C-alpha cells in the first residue's frame, strides 16, 4: 500500500552533479501517484527492481519480460525476447558515487554492447541490436516530471552522449561480414523513457524503475539476419515500423503517434513512392489503408529528451503542441537522406571498427547472455519467487517471435 500510494524510501543526499539535493527533496515527488497509482505491471516490476534481494539477472529479466508484453515497439519486443538487448542498469547506490564512476560504468557497458555485436558468430557472441541504459531508483520513479527531472535526464544522457546535450543524440554500431572483408557502420538515434509516462498522454514512453535511454538499430538487425541467419522479406522493416505506430496506446487523451489514413485517391503523402508491399491482403488489416510514407505524432520519435514530457499534468493541456509529419521512407527508400546510415549501413574499413572498440582477437572477455537465464522459479531469490510467477506470462512464446520475424 505504501508503494502504490507513492511512498518512497529515505536516502542520503547525493553530492555530485547527477543527483542534486533539489532533485531528491521530497517536495519534488509527483503528487499524481497519490491519486493515480502506477499500473499493475509497473508495480510488479518495481517489486523486483527496488528489492534489496534482486540480483542483476533478476532486474534484467523482469525488464526484458516487461518489454515483451508492455512495449508497443515491435523491434524492442523482438530484441528483448531473443536476448538481442544489452542492459546497463544503474541503481540508487550507483547514483551516490561520483560522476566519473558512473561514466566509466556506462561506457564499459557501451563497449561490451558494441563488441558483442561486431562479429556475432555462434561460437563467439550473441549480438545486441539494442542498448538500454536504465536508472532504477524509487526516487527517480516517483519524481515529478519537472525541470529537476529534466536536468537529471540531461546529466544521465551526458554519460553516453560525448558531444553534449542536443535535441537528437546518436549511437554507432558495427557489423562485420562473417566471410568477406566487409564491415558496415550504422548510426541511429537515442530515445528517452520514464516511469512518469505511466497514465499520461505519452504513455508509450513509460518504463518501470525510473528513466531509461535506449538505442536500437533496425539496420544492424536486418543485416545480421541477411549475413548470419535467414534473409527476411524486403518489406519487413517497414511492416514492423508501421505496426509499432499502430500499437501506440489509445489513452484518455488520445494517441501520441498515429498512422495516417490514405485519402480517397489512395496516394500517400510522398506520391512518387509506390505501394511497397506484395499485396494488401498480406498486411495486418490495421495497416491496409494507411500511408506508408508518413505518420503523425505529437512527439518527434527522433528527439532524445523532449521538454514536453516534463510537465506535471497527465494531459496535454497547456502544452504548446505541434503535429509532426514523421518519416517512414528512410526505412526503404534509397533516395532518403537517412536510409544509408540507419538501414543500409555505411561501408567502412574493418580497421575503423577495431580502432573504436578493439580487436576481437585481443578481447579478454565477451558477453554471451543466456536468453532464458534463471528461468526456473527455484533459481530466484525466495522473497521474489511469487512476483516472478505472476510476471512470467509476459514472455513471448517462440512461435510469436518467429511470426514477428517473418
Q: How confident is the model at residue 369 (pLDDT cuts 50, 70, 90)?
A: low
Residue 385 has pLDDT above 60, yes or no: yes
8 A C-beta contact, residue 345 and residue 185: yes
Find the helix or strand (DSSP H, E) in which 324 lies: strand 324-327
Mean pLDDT (the chain, rounded): 88
| pLDDT bucket at 14, cuts 50 / 70 / 90 | very low
User: What element of type H or E holds 45?
Assistant: helix 40-49
- Quote the pLDDT of residue 160: 83
User: Has residue 37 got a pLDDT over 60?
Assistant: yes
Q: How far is CA 241 from CA 132, 149, 162, 398, 404, in A?
A: 19, 30, 29, 21, 11
How far is the C-alpha of 326 from the C-alpha of 362, rounded, in Å? Answer: 43
38 or 5, greater pLDDT: 38
CA-CA-CA-CA torsion sign (304, 308, 311, 313): negative
Question: What distance in Å separates the CA atoms of residue 14 and residue 98, rounded to the nearest whole number?
Answer: 9
Antiparallel, parallel or unpaired: β 85-91 and 130-136: parallel
Model pLDDT for residues 387-401, shown as the tens digit of each residue: 999 999 999 999 999
Residue 78, C-alpha cell as written in the block = 523482438
Give the pLDDT confidence score for residue 15 in this predicted structure.
32
Query: The pTM is what?
Result: 0.90
In whole angstroms, what is the distance from residue 289 CA to residue 395 CA? 31
Backbone phi, psi, residue 86, to 5° = -105, 130
Please report the pLDDT score of residue 242 as a whole number: 98
Above pLDDT 90, what percent of the chain? Answer: 76
Residue-level pLDDT at 367: 78
Task: Give me the phi and psi of 187, to 5 degrees please.
Answer: -120, 135
Three-class SS of residue 182? coil
pLDDT at 98: 93
Beta sheet of 257-261, edge-to-edge order? 257-261, 290-297, 324-327
pLDDT in tens, 189-225: 999 999 999 999 999 999 999 999 999 999 999 999 9
What pLDDT is stored for residue 205 in this prediction? 97
| Residue 237's pLDDT band (cuts 50, 70, 90) | very high
Longest dimension (CA), the chain: 63
Residue 3's pLDDT band, with cuts at 50, 70 and 90, is very low
Amino acid at each position: 500500500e505504501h508503494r502504490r500510494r507513492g511512498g518512497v524510501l529515505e536516502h542520503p543526499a547525493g553530492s555530485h552533479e547527477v543527483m542534486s539535493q533539489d532533485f531528491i527533496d521530497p517536495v519534488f515527488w509527483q503528487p499524481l501517484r497519490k491519486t493515480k497509482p502506477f499500473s499493475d505491471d509497473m508495480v510488479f516490476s518495481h517489486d523486483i527492481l527496488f528489492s534489496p534481494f534482486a540480483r542483476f539477472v533478476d532486474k534484467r529479466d523482469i525488464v526484458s519480460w516487461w518489454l515483451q508484453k508492455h512495449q508497443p515497439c515491435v523491434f524492442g519486443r523482438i530484441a528483448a525476447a531473443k536476448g538481442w538487448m544489452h542492459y546497463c542498469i544503474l541503481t540508487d547506490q550507483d547514483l551516490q558515487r561520483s560522476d566519473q564512476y558512473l561514466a566509466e560504468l556506462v561506457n564499459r557497458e557501451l563497449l561490451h554492447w558494441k563488441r558483442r555485436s561486431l562479429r556475432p558468430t555462434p561460437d563467439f557472441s550473441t549480438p545486441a541490436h539494442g542498448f538500454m541504459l536504465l536508472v532504477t531508483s524509487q526516487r527517480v520513479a516517483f519524481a515529478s516530471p519537472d525541470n529537476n527531472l529534466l536536468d537529471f535526464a540531461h546529466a544521465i544522457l551526458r554519460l553516453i552522449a560525448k558531444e553534449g546535450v542536443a535535441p537528437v543524440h546518436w549511437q554507432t554500431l558495427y557489423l562485420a561480414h562473417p566471410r568477406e572483408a566487409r564491415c558496415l557502420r550504422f548510426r541511429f538515434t537515442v530515445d528517452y523513457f520514464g516511469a512518469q509516462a505511466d497514465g499520461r498522454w505519452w504513455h508509450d514512453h513509460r518504463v518501470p524503475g525510473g528513466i531509461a535511454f535506449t538505442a536500437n538499430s533496425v539496420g544492424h538487425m536486418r543485416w545480421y539476419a541477411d549475413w548470419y541467419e535467414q534473409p527476411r522479406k524486403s518489406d519487413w522493416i517497414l511492416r514492423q515500423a508501421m505496426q509499432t505506430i499502430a500499437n501506440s496506446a489509445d489513452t484518455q487523451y488520445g494517441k501520441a503517434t498515429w498512422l495516417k489514413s490514405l485519402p480517397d485517391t489512395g496516394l500517400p503523402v510522398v506520391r512518387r513512392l509506390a505501394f511497397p508491399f506484395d499485396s494488401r491482403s498480406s498486411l495486418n488489416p490495421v495497416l491496409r489503408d494507411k500511408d506508408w510514407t508518413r505518420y503523425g505524432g505529437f512527439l518527434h520519435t527522433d528527439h532524445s529528451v523532449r521538454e514536453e514530457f516534463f510537465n506535471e499534468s497527465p494531459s496535454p493541456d497547456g502544452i504548446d503542441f505541434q503535429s509532426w509529419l514523421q518519416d517512414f521512407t528512410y526505412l526503404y527508400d534509397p533516395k532518403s537522406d537517412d536510409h544509408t546510415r540507419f538501414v543500409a549501413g555505411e561501408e567502412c574499413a574493418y580497421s575503423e571498427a577495431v580502432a573504436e572498440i578493439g580487436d576481437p582477437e585481443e578481447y579478454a572477455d565477451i558477453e554471451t547472455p543466456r536468453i532464458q537465464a534463471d528461468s526456473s522459479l527455484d533459481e530466484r531469490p525466495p522473497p521474489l519467487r511469487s512476483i516472478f510467477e505472476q510476471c512470467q506470462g509476459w514472455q513471448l512464446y517462440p512461435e510469436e517471435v518467429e511470426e514477428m520475424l517473418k
